[in-house]
Each structure stands twice: as structure tokens, then as C-alpha cells.
Amino acid sequence: MTCQDLEVVTGIEKESQPEPWSEKAFVEELSRSPQGAFVARIWSEGVGGSQGERPPEIRMVSSPPDWKVCGYVCFWVVADELQILNLAVDKAFRRGGVGTELLRYAFTAGISAGAKTGFLEVRKGNRAGREFYKRAGFREVGERPGYYGPCRETAVLMERDLGLGELQSTWPDRNGKMT
């Protein structure tokens, strides 16, 4: 993620989170932890002015800038812990495996920085988020009542051993086959 991505990132953030991070919060995150913020870009017909027959495809690095930002993940690695801070996918591209690929990327970066366990907090009322993380191998290990914002929503704490198994990818390969 770079500052050039922030217009799209904050747009996705506003439609994804009840208390969205501001642009300033993302800028602070980028300066504090530039190795811990990534965007996913997607090519699809009509996006970026390109036309053609290539199937939708996700790229995590070195994608041409006209590929549309469709999601992002922010995380910290502290000692041997990977803390997922924020992860969201553009509504138009959900249930296509983008979130899973972002998480996989965070795991890979975290493991190479020495992380052994992944942690995160998710709103108790965020059913989709909790299901998503469960599917990715996280388990619910506790709750923090009143953790979020003015409505004092409970946070559910989730944890995953990063040495345990592979994340299942739901993203089709170039032949459309699910891997």
C-alpha cells in the first residue's frame, strides 16, 4: 500500500467498517509499519480502461497501476505475534477469494518476520468477518465487552497457530479451476 492507493482504500474502508479508519490513520500506519500494509489489485474487463479476454485475476505485487485496488490488509508483527489490524474487500469483489489471499499474504510476511501465532479482534455482530476468519483457521478464544466505539460493541478475540496447515484458496487459476 502506498499513499497513491489511499483514495480507493479509504472509499472501501468507509463502506466496510462501522468506524472507518481515516486517511490520516492509514498514513500513520504506512509510516509506522510500511512492511505491514498491502493492497490486492484486480484486473477485470473495463477496469483501468483495459479491454480484453483475460479472466479476473488477483495480483499481490508489482501489478500495473491500472489494476484496480480491490482490498487491503494492515498488520503488525511484534515478537512472535502477527496482529491483524484491518482487512477489507471492495463489496463488488467479495466472495471471490480476495480476502483469503490477503490473509495468506499477511501470514507469509508474518512467518518470515518470525511470527508463530496470529491474533485479531472482530466485532461480535460481524457475522461475515467471524465466519471468514473461522474458515481461515482462527478460533475464538475470548471476548472484550464494550471494546468498540460509542455503541460499546463486544470484541471477539481470535487466534491461529501459523504453523498449522495451509489456508484454503478459493481463487480460480487461469483455467478457472478452484485451487
Ligand X SMILES: CC(C)(COP(=O)(O)OP(=O)(O)OC[C@H]1O[C@@H](n2cnc3c(N)ncnc32)[C@H](O)[C@@H]1OP(=O)(O)O)[C@@H](O)C(=O)NCCC(=O)NCCS
Name the nearest CA neighbour of 88 among 32, 153, 38, 162.
38
* Residue of 5, 14, 3 lying closest to 70 (CA atoms): 5
In the bound state with ligand X, the residue whose beta carbon lies nearer, of 129 and 137, is 129
One of 3, 128, 141, 151 touching ligand X (CB under 6 A): 128
State which of residues 6, 82, 98, 156 lies at the interface with ligand X (CB under 6 A).
98
Conformation bin of residue 125: beta by default, left when phi > 0, alpha when psi is -120 to 50 = alpha
Q: How far is the CB of 76 from ligand X (least distance, A)?
A: 14
Grid coordinates representing 34? 510500511
> Shortest distance, CB of residue 21 to ligand X, whole angstroms?
10
* Distance (Å, whole) CA 179 – CA 163: 20
Size of residue set near ligand X by CB under 6 A:
21
Give CA–CA dist 37/61, Å, rounded: 12
Q: Kindly state the smallest distance separating residue 3's Cβ from ligand X, in Å.
A: 22
Q: Are 170 and 97 in contact (CB under 8 A)?
A: yes
Comparing CB distances to ligand X, the nearer of 69 and 87 is: 87
**Residue 126 interacts with ligand X (CB under 6 A): yes or no:** yes
Minimum CB separation of residue 29 from ligand X in Å reads: 14
The residue ranges that bind ligand X (CB under 6 A) are: 16-17, 86-89, 94-100, 122, 126, 128-129, 131-132, 135, 170
